[in-house]
Amino acid sequence: MLFFLLLWTLLRCADLFSITVPSDPVLAVRGATALLSCLFESDSDPSKLVITWQRVEDMRVVHSYYHLKDQLERQSADYINRTQLNYNEIAKGNASLSIATFGLKDAGKYECVVSNTKGTDKGTLQLNYAAIYSEPRLSIHLKSSNVTVQYETEGYPQPEVMWFNSGGQNLTNHQEISSASDEGLYYLKSSYVSQNPELNITFTLKNPAAHQELQRHLILNYEGGQSSSSSVAVLSVLCLCLLLSTGVLLYFYCRGKPAHKPMLNNHH
């Protein structure tokens, strides 16, 4: 009876030990340092503490700590020289891990496993990836029949893009989005075509994952077109008239000029 009571007490104590990880997905931005939070109840013997971080998808070892130091012999090559625990906080019950230069391949599920004299527990958190979209690059293409305004930018994930006129009406636009590259970026081209060379429009890009919103306002006044063609035509007519007038003047000048008579020699 005493044995079962002791076993029940040990199991109950083990159940009381638990770790805490974020329940909501954690966002990490491209190139920044991601923080994976993991808290536990510390004990009086830190030498018994074991901390293991690993990927849930394939059980790759991300970081290991025991015997009061890092144990990285089995660490995945993808994380070498990129992971770090907060050693000043470990004794206080903080097993949080930082991952430097975060990229698209680092996104996924991570498992934190902690063991000490009070018990063992594990928790799983989701780490999401996003990349801030770069400053949109503007190009304007003028044709005889229309004008095309285009913005190009890179980021992640696929954004929400809209064009508006001065009245706030959503305009139909064309978009080209290439798949994410090895660098973890989408390449976006978004353009609007108008038959009217005078534009007052707004380009809007939203990247909710990264809490980013861009707005670029464009006013375009084009005074070329028909007026320029007319000027060229008028100039051509004037040049033609000048040539004709010059030809007529030369004709009459040549007709009115007296002919030179040959000199006669007087023979005595």
Please name the helix (run of DSSP H) or strand (run of DSSP E) that holds residue 130, with its range, or none: strand 119-130
Lowest mean pLDDT among 55-69, 115-129, 204-218, 247-261: 247-261
Residue 8 above 90 pLDDT?
no
Q: What token pair was written down for 193?
A: 């075509």
Give mean pLDDT, residues 189-208: 93
Residue 128 above 60 pLDDT?
yes
Q: Whole-number mean pLDDT of the chain?
A: 82
CATH 2.60.40.10 intervals, the chain: 2-130, 137-220
Measured CA to CA, the distance from residue 137 to residue 181 in angstroms comes to: 19
Measured CA to CA, the distance from residue 199 to residue 215 in angstroms comes to: 16
Measured CA to CA, the distance from residue 172 to residue 30 in angstroms comes to: 31
Burial 74-100 (b: 16+ CB within 10 A, else e): ebbeebeebbebeeeebeebbbbbebe
Name the pLDDT band for 264 (thresholds 50, 70, 90): very low
Q: What is the pLDDT of residues 208-260, one digit of tens each?
A: 999 999 999 999 886 654 433 333 333 333 334 444 444 444 444 445 544 44
Q: What token pair was written down for 236?
A: 């051509």
CATH architecture under which domain 137-220 falls = Sandwich (2.60)
Q: What is the pLDDT of residues 68-98, one digit of tens each?
A: 999 999 999 999 999 999 999 999 999 999 9
Please tell me the predicted confidence (pLDDT) of residue 126.
97
Please tell me the predicted confidence (pLDDT) of residue 189.
94
Name the pLDDT band for 120 (thresholds 50, 70, 90): very high
One of 3.40.50.2000, 2.60.40.10, 3.50.50.60, 1.10.10.10 is the CATH number of 2-130, namely 2.60.40.10
Name the pLDDT band for 145 (thresholds 50, 70, 90): confident
Q: What token pair was written down for 75?
A: 């660490």
